[in-house]
Amino acid sequence: MVKVSVIIPIYNVEAFLGECLPSVQAQTLREIEILLVDDGSSDNSGKIAESFAAADPRMRVFRQKNSGYASACNVGLSMACGKYISIVEPDDFIEPNMLERLYNCAEENRADVAKARYWEMLDLPQKRIERVCGAVIESAKPFTLGDHPELLSMHPSIWSCLYLRDFIREFGISFISGRYRGWEDNPFQIQTLFLARRISYVNDPLYHWRVLSPMDYVKIPCVEMPIERIDAMHSFLASEGCSNPQIYEALFRRDMVYFKKIFQKAALADLPYLRGRVKAYFRRLAAEDALYTPVRNRRLVMFPCIYFMLTKFTLPLKRILKTAKIRLK
């Protein structure tokens, strides 16, 4: 029996597969399958995946035209045969006992989702810097998102989890992309955590997440993409009739981090669009918070702060710097 299906979406990561794939092959849990989905790589990633698969019968390679992270993960979800599903990103690697620890944790607690903490890793020319990330949850008992909504305020880290395959298929959970690629892990995270009836947790870090740049907001292709992800998460909660103010509060904290990234990415030409979207965002918060007075008071007071940052500080500062650069030429 295949206990865990490991999905690895691959796109132009030839420099990292030599560390990622052996870490999955070396898992102490041997009853696994490894699904390598090559999303139309233009480098040698596909060939590397094929060479690993030729030497390991647990590996299968799937190829498709470049369609994005969400599409590649969905191919893996559709082909998975294991009792549980894991997603490992191809520029990361995992501890040798990660799958075994999470599998045992999920089985003991009959969990829909088993989750662990992780390392954030930055490779510098002379050394590797790592720090432990993720919530610390002391209770050994399984829980729901309503019990620990702080999980929503942190990085999605969908790859430090196991998901019961029957749970994924029961609720029709999949990756959603939308008009813009990037950050597709956000809607997937909120679907899985909110719908999970039992979540189990390991406080030890078991996954190594590689940060390719200290200023990771440069990964944002456009300012519209994070806003689309914010909209998707709030729309999902609304569609499910969420009435837990702590969940909305935790999501609000995540939203503020994303708005910060939007401001850092924004150009002067984005100002009219962002003004309208910021106003629309807080109008929706007002509607969401109509039932949640304690949350409403804290969140709505942020509107003038956000609006001030956007219109009075961030973009004017960009204009000043741009003008100064022109004068120096």
Closest CA to 3 of 20, 19, 27, 23: 27
| Mean pLDDT of all residues in 202-225 | 80
Q: What is residue 50's predicted lDDT score, i.e. its pLDDT?
A: 98
Q: What is residue 328's predicted lDDT score, i.e. its pLDDT?
A: 40
Res 291 pLDDT > 50: no
* Coil vs helix vs strand at 93: strand
Q: What is residue 274's predicted lDDT score, i.e. its pLDDT?
A: 82
Q: What is residue 319's predicted lDDT score, i.e. its pLDDT?
A: 52
Angle between helices 45-55 and 17-25 in degrees, nearest 10: 20
Res 310 pLDDT > 90: no
Q: What is residue 308's predicted lDDT score, i.e. its pLDDT?
A: 47
Q: Using CA of residue 259, residue 260, residue 264, residue 267, what is the dihedral sign?
A: positive
**Tokens encoding 323:** 């003008």
Q: What is residue 81's predicted lDDT score, i.e. its pLDDT?
A: 97
Q: What is residue 301's predicted lDDT score, i.e. its pLDDT?
A: 46
Q: What is residue 232's predicted lDDT score, i.e. its pLDDT?
A: 92
With bands split at pLDDT 50, 70 and 90, how would you rate the model's confidence at 38?
very high
| Mean pLDDT of all residues in 168-194 | 93
| Mean pLDDT of all residues in 227-244 | 92
Q: What is residue 259's predicted lDDT score, i.e. its pLDDT?
A: 82
Q: Where is pLDDT greater, at 308 or 45?
A: 45
Q: How far is CA 144 from CA 65, 150, 151, 238, 239, in A?
A: 38, 11, 10, 18, 18
Local structure of residue 211 (DSSP, 8 states): P
Res 303 pLDDT > 70: no
4-212 CATH: 3.90.550.10
Q: What is residue 216's predicted lDDT score, i.e. its pLDDT?
A: 54
What residues form DSSP beta bridges with 35? 7, 60
One-letter amino acid for residue 262 of the chain: I
| Mean pLDDT of all residues in 116-140 | 91
- Give 148-176 pLDDT, tens digit per residue: 999 999 999 999 999 999 999 999 999 99
* Coil vs helix vs strand at 303: helix
What residues form DSSP beta bridges with 314? none
Q: What is residue 9's predicted lDDT score, i.e. its pLDDT?
A: 98
- Give 57-110 pLDDT, tens digit per residue: 999 999 999 999 999 999 999 999 999 999 999 999 999 999 999 999 999 999
Distance CA 54, CA 122 (A): 31
Domain residue spans of the chain: 4-212, 228-328
* Coil vs helix vs strand at 199: strand
**CA Rg, the chain, in Å?**
21
The angle formed by the CA atoms of residues 169, 174 and 175, to the nearest 5 degrees, is: 165
Q: What is residue 304's predicted lDDT score, i.e. its pLDDT?
A: 47
| Mean pLDDT of all residues in 243-259 | 88
Angle between helices 224-239 and 271-288 in degrees, nearest 10: 20
Q: Where is pLDDT greater, at 223 or 93?
A: 93
**Tokens encoding 209:** 């997440």
CB 209 within 8 A of CB 117: no
| Mean pLDDT of all residues in 241-260 | 88
Alpha helices in 171-314 (DSSP H): 185-195, 224-239, 245-265, 271-288, 293-300, 302-308
